[in-house]
Structure 1
Amino acid sequence: MSRVVVVTGASGGIGRATVREFARRGDTLALVARGERGLEAAAEEVRGLGARALVVPTDVADADAVEAAVERIESELGPVDVWVNVAFTSVFSRVDDIRPEEFRRVTEVSYLGYVYATMSILRRMKERDRGTIVHVGSALAYRGIPLQSAYCGAKHAIQGFHEAVRAELLHERSAVRVTMVQMPAVNTPQFSWVLSRLPQQAQPVPPIYQPEVAARAVVFAADHPRRREYWVGASTVGTLAANAVVPGLLDRYLGRTGFGSQQTGERKPDDQPSNLWEPADGPDGRDFGAHGAFDDRAHAHSPQQWVAQHYPLLAGAAAVLVATGAAVAGRRR
């Protein structure tokens, strides 16, 4: 059955790929972001897949604008079944090179944007006692890395917010679900449009995954929201496990490697756009799509993701094999 699904940050990257994944299932999509060029291109992709798309240009850092967007979406499409928070911005820089107003802007978009959207749609979902909210997170929600302090701070904040909301819903015995998907490094256009004060071109820390891997994880989480969170990619699992066991050692490791691993070795283009204050795909910009510049290095699949999504089936199969083996061994005695 077709659902009404809203995706923020739908104009590019993970949001753009997620929109396509929901559209293939026949869901009705509301696309939320600032950049109208990217939104219109995303809407055309949705329609090309046979699904309905509503473009809702919105700056998620504006609580009133978010509330107006929700009202419009539910008025035109009907009650929202799934809301996916993806929209973000950031600054690649040492902490002492980030201006206070830039740090505030990153926090308003990348953290408070999730909060405002959740508050607005959650009220409506609770009244209906149904609906799912998916927060797109990151391994950096648990493990901060150098040169991304503003982004890491926002993702840490989202993690705490998510846990608090989930606990409240459990207390209320609500049928509304909230889950979070912690992503690995993904080949998105952000490395070509996030404000950067690095001397070299920014890059995701390998291993890198294609945005479709992230999108499939988001759709799976929307279908199975009872789990509090999902980890995507072996690198995410390894990073979070190491941070839980030897965080101090990881601090030192990232201090040695975190600067070089986030830069390509090539000079950053002087005309690289920045989407901190205005969308990179504005009137004079272009549609960046879902993929970044690292297609030749990005993985299109994640074996870990498949195992994580099918572990109940795998555990059941293992239990059957163990029981069968025990029965056979007993008969032989």
Structure 2
Amino acid sequence: MSAAFENGDAPVAVVTGASAGVGRAIAVAFAQRGYRVALLARSPEGLEGAFAEVSQLGGEAFELIADVSKPDDVFAAAEAVVARWGRIHVWVNDAMETVVGPVDMITPEEYRRVTEVTYLGVVHGTLAALRHMRPRDEGHIIQIGSALAYRAIPLQSAYCAAKFAIRGFTDSLRAELLHDNSRIRLTMVQLPGVNTPQFDWSHMHFDRRHQPIGEVYEPEAVARAVVEAVQAWRAPRELWLGAPTVQSIIGQMFAPVFLDRYLARNAYEQQISNDPVRPGDPDELLGPDHHDHGARGRFSAAAKDSLIAVDPAYLRGGAVVAGIGLLAGAYLWGRASRAASRKTLM
């Protein structure tokens, strides 16, 4: 990105789901770093709010109404960005929808809509980005994932399944890019609970509103980590944000049965708040809400402003070193024991 700045040509970032929540915070964070930012979302009011925020920072924004579940919308938006600014340096796939309820209460239509937005929206965005990044053999695609891409929880089967699918799709693409010796960078960022308006517009099969469980973080903390990953010399394959994400993923690797039982006891009722769902409350699954919700939700009193960002490549390297150390220690201990035994026999 430094070359683009040196030439006086500010780099271009495209962010889906940019009207609110994490996407909104990421768009603003890129603007703060001098990027031109294309804002994609369904909500005109939310896009206008995001545009105003970027503009107040002195940034250059381009708002585009698009439903990521419709590939033609996404491809047309990408074409418009390139027609305006010449290229796309970064594409962030963030748009999502969720339904909260037991598996057999969620309708086939609801499963389809969550899949179309949360999973296929990422596919469509990635295909659009590749159309313009492949010819230049450059660019960085960011998939906004979740700890739930590794460890599913009760009541969010549609959303968890979509996040699992994103991880599989991304890993396949990564192998293909490596096969082609492509210089396009690809990172999946796994998120913890984040204080966004998502919890106000989740489609509920309960009469009370959705809430996060465990520690929750402000979206700006996530946004800073995303921008830093883009600007890093070596793009991380994955980035795990927040201690709960690291704990969930590692716990799933080593103790999935324990987590099944733990989540059955601790992640069901805790997702349902005491706030009643009222007539007229926003429900993004049914259509865009005509309000500007901003980046933050209603949990700022408990949300943390900073988080750890862990590249699991270093964790794996540390595990290998620790494993070698344990084996070496066991070997040396065994030799010492055998030597002591021989001395005793003598």
The TM-score with structure 1 as length reference comes to: 0.89
Distance 2:218 2:203 in 1: 22
Shift of 1:200: 2.3
The equivalences for 1:134-145 within 5 A come to: 134-145=142-153
Checking the alignment, whether the CA contact within 8 Å between 2:155 and 2:268 is kept in structure 1 is: yes
Checking the alignment, whether the CA contact within 8 Å between 2:202 and 2:210 is kept in structure 1 is: no
| Unmatched 5+ stretches in structure 2 | 319-346
| 1:194 to 2:202 alignment | yes
Distance 1:54 1:124 in 2: 17
What do residues 293-324 of structure 1 show as CA deviations (whole Å, max 9, x unaligned)? 0000100111x23x769x89xx9xxxxxxxxx
CA distance 1:298–1:7, shift in 2 (3 Å): same
Equivalent AA in structure 1 for residue 277 of structure 2:
K
| Unmatched 5+ stretches in structure 1 | 316-333
Ranges of 4+ aligned residues in structure 1 off by more than 4 Å: none
Shift of 1:120: 1.7
What is residue 36 of structure 1 aligned with on the other side?
Answer: 44
Checking the alignment, whether the CA contact within 8 Å between 1:63 and 1:116 is kept in structure 2 is: yes
| Structure index of larger Rg | 2
Moved more, 216-225 or 180-189: 216-225
| 1:207 to 2:221 alignment | no
Distance 2:159 2:288 in 1: 17
| 1:129 to 2:128 alignment | no
Which residue among 121, 124, 137 is the counterpart of 1:116?
124
Checking the alignment, whether the CA contact within 8 Å between 1:181 and 1:217 is kept in structure 2 is: no
**Alignment length (residue pairs):** 306
The equivalences for 1:234-273 within 5 A come to: 234-273=243-282
The TM-score with structure 2 as length reference comes to: 0.86
What is residue 287 of structure 1 aligned with on the other side?
Answer: 292
Shift of 1:279: 0.7
What is residue 66 of structure 1 aligned with on the other side?
Answer: 74
Shift of 1:221: 1.8
What is residue 51 of structure 1 aligned with on the other side?
Answer: 59
| 1:297 to 2:305 alignment | no
Checking the alignment, whether the CA contact within 8 Å between 1:186 and 1:208 is kept in structure 2 is: yes
Checking the alignment, whether the CA contact within 8 Å between 1:187 and 1:292 is kept in structure 2 is: yes
Which residue among 233, 241, 245 is the counterpart of 1:232?
241
The equivalences for 1:66-85 within 5 A come to: 66-85=74-93
What do residues 58-112 of structure 1 show as CA deviations (whole Å, max 9, x unaligned)? 0000011111111111101220000000001111111111111111011000000
What is residue 319 of structure 1 aligned with on the other side?
Answer: none
SS at match of 1:231: strand
Distance 2:67 2:271 in 1: 28
Q: CA RMSD in A?
A: 1.6
What do residues 251-298 of structure 1 show as CA deviations (whole Å, max 9, x unaligned)? 111111111221223333343220113112x2xxx2100000000010
